A and B are shown apart, each in its own frame.
Chain A
Amino acid sequence: MTVPMPWKDVAAPPAGAPGAAALPTRAKAKRIIPGSEYWKARKTSAAREYAEVLGVVAIVAVVGWSAPVSYHVFGYLYLLMVIALSLRVGRWPVLVAAVVSALTWNFVFMPPRMSFSVLDVDDTLMLGSYFFAALIGGQLTARIRAQERHERQREQRATAFLHLTRALAEARTMDAAAAAALRQADDLFSARTALLLPDENGSLTAHPAGTFRLGEQERAVAAVAWARGQPAGRGTEILPGDGLYLPLLRAGQALGVFAVQLPPELTELSTAQRDLIEGFAAQIALLVEHEQLRAAGEREKLLEESDRLHRTLLDSVSHELKTPLAVLRSAGEKLTTDDPDRRVNLAGEIRTATRRLDHLVANLLNQTRLETGRLEAQLDWCDVRDLIGAARRAAGDAVAARTLKIEVPPDMPLFLADAVLMEHVMANLLFNAALHTPIGTTIRVTAGLDEEHRCVRLEVADNGPGIPAEINATLFQKFQRGPAARAGGLGLGLSIVRGFMEAQHGQVSAGRSPEGGALFTLQLPYAPHGAVPGDET
């Protein structure tokens, strides 16, 4: 992100940056916020280090008190001790170690013992080397520690981004991705975060997955950050307040706002912390942009598709509707005839036309229900015989001229399905079988469980001419009609079959029956039902 960040320059010396460990503890202490790990600069207990230093000096003094060796030996011992300590403790404790060692050596060991003595050149050199060793060692240690800290923070950042990227990659929807990103941000910063995106009316709305509940005032700050495309809130020059609001910038345009509610004790952010938050915001911005592009693409595709659909629909619907309407109209006009035989014929024509209209309207409505996504299967325990019976009644006269063979095993169990949807599915398959086969064809309906008793299988097979290979690929698409289809039907039947089966977590497939005709297989997940209360005889 190349956003001007005026607040960057005014920020205090960063605690996490190299060399920070040696700074006076002022800045450090302010960053220690209970319960928010990230904000804590790792605090090696200074008091413990001082105690350690004093302890070692005292031990050497006590142990060496009665040793019958020259006081020079203790001078060297203290020098080695300071060098050793410089590798362990911070810069200030090691300087203290040097001072205390010098005083102790002089006071305790240098004759006259238990009093300060005047130093000769040798001893002065020895004392000077204490400080030299302490300074060099302390500097080196501080540098190594700073590097360690830096490494740790980089690793933390890398891990955070890795987690974020992984979570985003796993998320399938924008909502899931936003929720994952916010969860990651919450965990990492131990803070409350929120994602604000413009809704249809163009006003910023918080994503429900956010944990930072914005009040009236906070929303206003977020809106400023969004409008200006600049960070606002805590640590910035724009409306400093409780939270930090980063605009999600892509190509100079703010797509939304990422809000972090910082712990109230925290006054400034380190460069690393700021970078991390900004990095997160950039990732989320990328996600939002990606989603917007995808949605735009989808809308366009949808528009195209619906345009094409409308044309097809209008063409075939007007044809399909006009035929029975024409029959109804002329039959209605001719009904005034006095010839009773003709009247019977006309009534028959009217019945056929209305049935056709009925079937057409039912399929159109079903397709609409599928397309608007308002279809929700009401799963209930079903007896397959009921489903077949209802479908048979619904298909009515269409299958009357075909032989219907129903094979249901006597121990066929109940299974979960939506009886009404299944009735339409089976009726459409029966209707289809009747439409595409010659009179006298046998239609076989079989039901059963698969070998593992995991799914219910329903088959509708016929010994007709079978499904032409060239329409296999588009068989279940809407407005696809078989090449030999006689007048009648919009080509919605199988599309509805598939839609209804999927609404019940089932599936449908087509193939060739053993008799050489078409075979449609319906599958539904199966699990046995609970116990049925017993019964006295």
Chain B
Amino acid sequence: MKPDAAKPEVLVIDDEPQIRRLLRLILEEDGYAVREAETGKAGQGEILRHNPDAIILDLGLPDEPGVDVLRRLREWNATPVLILSVFGQEGSKVAGLDAGADDYLTKPFGEAELLARLRALLRRIKPAVAASKFRFGRCEVDLAARRVTRDGHTLHLTTTEYALLRLFITHRDKVLTHRQILRELWGPKAEGQTHYLRTYMLRLRRKLEDDLEAPRHFQTESGVGYRFLSDPADAA
């Protein structure tokens, strides 16, 4: 059905024609096929008809809140979703991520940032060869042997630290909300206990980052969560 099977298809759901035009310009130049929808309803129709590879969804749609569109979509569809929000909407960002969005961008955003996020999303659905070894910076994680080395020296990680690192590797380059991480590691009852997470993040960074004041791989997204960048140079 797709016009060009080689090109990944992105659906842009945004009511602003200028944003849609701009996204089309950026995305087509980078080798994506682009479809547009103006409203949540139209967007859903597009998803049903064309089954895009990724969706860029604006949270402030004229017909219904983007978060609602997302929630309904996630009932039957797992296509990666990148949400667009505007300044000052930290709450809706988190709501969107918790409702199943894979990442977010705040308007105004840069082209490089957008493309890096999109690449990360598409990489996730087409996992590379099931490599048991994963490298980032000066560290290497042997997932099969459950061993972490830095500059060739074995690092000692506690069970929780390792679980946290594993979670980040599984969801690399993608933002994870506090709630998602807490739930995964300490169970649903711990969803509000952000100090657990902060404490373990600090321990993990101490062991794996070069500069604690400017971490490169374990990035903090203020008020939202964390993002693990396997290759910071690629993330703009």
**A interface, CB within 8 angstroms of B:** 354, 358, 361-362, 365-366, 369, 378, 380-383, 385-390, 392, 406, 408, 414, 418-420, 422-423, 529-530, 532-533, 535-537
B21 within 8 A of A: no
Residues of B within 8 A of A536 (CB): 158-159
Q: Is the CB of A532 within 8 A of B199?
A: yes
Least CB distance from A263 to B in Å reads: 50
Considering the complex, which residues of chain B in the window 157-179 have a beta carbon less than 8 Å from any beta carbon of chain A?
A: 158-161, 178
How distant is the Cα of A451 from the Cα of B195 in the complex, in angstroms? 23
Q: Is the CB of B195 within 8 A of A386?
A: no
B17 within 8 A of A: no
Interface pairs (30), CB distance under 8 Å: A365-B87, A365-B88, A366-B88, A369-B88, A378-B223, A381-B198, A382-B198, A385-B212, A385-B213, A385-B215, A386-B222, A389-B220, A390-B222, A392-B214, A406-B213, A408-B213, A414-B198, A418-B223, A419-B220, A420-B90, A420-B222, A420-B223, A423-B222, A529-B195, A533-B186, A535-B161, A536-B158, A537-B156, A537-B158, A537-B159
Known: A383-B201, A383-B202, A389-B213. A532 touches B196 (CB 8 A): yes
Q: Is the CB of B108 within 8 A of A414?
A: no
B194 within 8 A of A: yes
Least CB distance from A321 to B in Å reads: 15
Residues of A within 8 A of B220 (CB): 383, 386, 389-390, 419
Beyond the given A418-B223, A533-B196, could you list 7 further A-B residue pairs with CB under 8 A, ordered by the A residue number? Answer: A361-B87, A381-B194, A381-B195, A382-B198, A389-B220, A414-B198, A535-B158
Known: A378-B223, A420-B223, A533-B186. A388 touches B213 (CB 8 A): yes
Considering the complex, which residues of chain B in the window 38-91 have a beta carbon less than 8 Å from any beta carbon of chain A?
A: 87-88, 90-91
How distant is the Cα of A497 from the Cα of B31 in the complex, in angstroms? 44
Q: Which 3 A-B residue pairings sit nearest by Cβ, starting from the closest?
A: A381-B195, A386-B220, A420-B223
How distant is the Cα of A419 from the Cα of B91 in the complex, in angstroms? 12
Known: A530-B195, A532-B196. A419 touches B222 (CB 8 A): yes
Least CB distance from A119 to B in Å reads: 97
How distant is the Cα of A385 from the Cα of B202 in the complex, in angstroms? 9
Q: Which of B159, B186, B222 has the most CB of A within 10 A?
A: B222
Least CB distance from A7 to B in Å reads: 58
Known: A361-B87, A536-B158, A537-B156. A383 touches B108 (CB 8 A): no
Least CB distance from B113 to A in Å reads: 12
Q: Is the CB of B214 within 8 A of A389?
A: yes
How distant is the Cα of A519 from the Cα of B128 in the complex, in angstroms? 51
Which residue from chain A places its CB closest to the CB of B160 in the assembled complex?
A: A535
**B interface, CB within 8 angstroms of A:** 87-88, 90-91, 108, 156, 158-161, 178, 186, 193-196, 198-202, 212-215, 220, 222-223
Least CB distance from A347 to B in Å reads: 11
Least CB distance from A9 to B in Å reads: 65
How distant is the Cα of A408 from the Cα of B214 in the complex, in angstroms? 12
How distant is the Cα of A383 from the Cα of B161 in the complex, in angstroms? 17
Q: Is the CB of A414 within 8 A of B195?
A: yes
Known: A418-B223, A420-B223, A536-B158. A389 touches B198 (CB 8 A): no
Which residue from chain A places its CB closest to the CB of B192 in the assembled complex?
A: A380
Least CB distance from A147 to B in Å reads: 66
Residues of A within 8 A of B158 (CB): 535-537
Q: Which of B91, B108, B193, B213 has the most CB of A within 10 A?
A: B213
Residues of B within 8 A of A366 (CB): 88
Which residue from chain A places its CB closest to the CB of B197 in the assembled complex?
A: A381
Residues of A within 8 A of B222 (CB): 386-387, 390, 419-420, 422-423
Residues of B within 8 A of A390 (CB): 220, 222
Known: A385-B213, A408-B213. A532 touches B195 (CB 8 A): yes
Least CB distance from A127 to B in Å reads: 91
Residues of B within 8 A of A381 (CB): 194-195, 198
Which residue from chain B places its CB closest to the CB of A407 in the assembled complex?
A: B213
Residues of B within 8 A of A389 (CB): 213-215, 220
Least CB distance from B192 to A in Å reads: 9
Residues of B within 8 A of A419 (CB): 220, 222-223
Which residue from chain A places its CB closest to the CB of B91 in the assembled complex?
A: A378
Least CB distance from B228 to A in Å reads: 14
How distant is the Cα of A390 from the Cα of B178 in the complex, in angstroms? 16
How distant is the Cα of A517 from the Cα of B90 in the complex, in angstroms? 35
Q: Which of B195, B201, B212, B223 has the most CB of A within 10 A?
A: B195
How distant is the Cα of A418 from the Cα of B90 in the complex, in angstroms? 11
Least CB distance from A372 to B in Å reads: 12
Residues of A within 8 A of B213 (CB): 385, 388-389, 406, 408
Which residue from chain B places its CB closest to the CB of A354 in the assembled complex?
A: B108
Residues of B within 8 A of A388 (CB): 213
How distant is the Cα of A419 from the Cα of B178 in the complex, in angstroms? 13
Least CB distance from B194 to A in Å reads: 5
Residues of A within 8 A of B156 (CB): 537
Q: Is the CB of A414 within 8 A of B199?
A: yes
How distant is the Cα of A381 from the Cα of B161 in the complex, in angstroms? 19
Least CB distance from A399 to B in Å reads: 13
Q: Is the CB of A380 within 8 A of B194?
A: yes
Which residue from chain B places its CB closest to the CB of A422 in the assembled complex?
A: B222
How distant is the Cα of A385 from the Cα of B213 in the complex, in angstroms? 6
Which residue from chain A places its CB closest to the CB of B196 in the assembled complex?
A: A532
Least CB distance from B184 to A in Å reads: 14
How distant is the Cα of A361 from the Cα of B86 in the complex, in angstroms? 11
How distant is the Cα of A158 from the Cα of B87 in the complex, in angstroms? 59
Which residue from chain A places its CB closest to the CB of B190 in the assembled complex?
A: A533
How distant is the Cα of A418 from the Cα of B194 in the complex, in angstroms? 12
Residues of B within 8 A of A406 (CB): 213
Residues of A within 8 A of B201 (CB): 383
Least CB distance from B21 to A in Å reads: 15
Q: Is the CB of B198 within 8 A of A383?
A: yes
How distant is the Cα of A366 from the Cα of B215 in the complex, in angstroms? 28
Residues of A within 8 A of B215 (CB): 385, 389
Residues of B within 8 A of A533 (CB): 160, 186, 196
Q: Is the CB of A535 within 8 A of B159?
A: yes
Residues of B within 8 A of A382 (CB): 198
How distant is the Cα of A75 from the Cα of B153 in the complex, in angstroms? 121
Which residue from chain A places its CB closest to the CB of B199 in the assembled complex?
A: A532
Which residue from chain A places its CB closest to the CB of B186 in the assembled complex?
A: A533
Which residue from chain A places its CB closest to the CB of B158 in the assembled complex?
A: A535
Least CB distance from A382 to B in Å reads: 7
Residues of B within 8 A of A362 (CB): 87
How distant is the Cα of A385 from the Cα of B186 in the complex, in angstroms? 24
Q: Which of A362, A385, A423 has the most CB of B within 10 A?
A: A385
Which residue from chain A places its CB closest to the CB of B203 in the assembled complex?
A: A535
Least CB distance from A154 to B in Å reads: 58
Residues of A within 8 A of B195 (CB): 381, 414, 529-530, 532
Least CB distance from A530 to B in Å reads: 7
Which residue from chain B places its CB closest to the CB of A537 in the assembled complex?
A: B158
How distant is the Cα of A378 from the Cα of B95 in the complex, in angstroms? 14
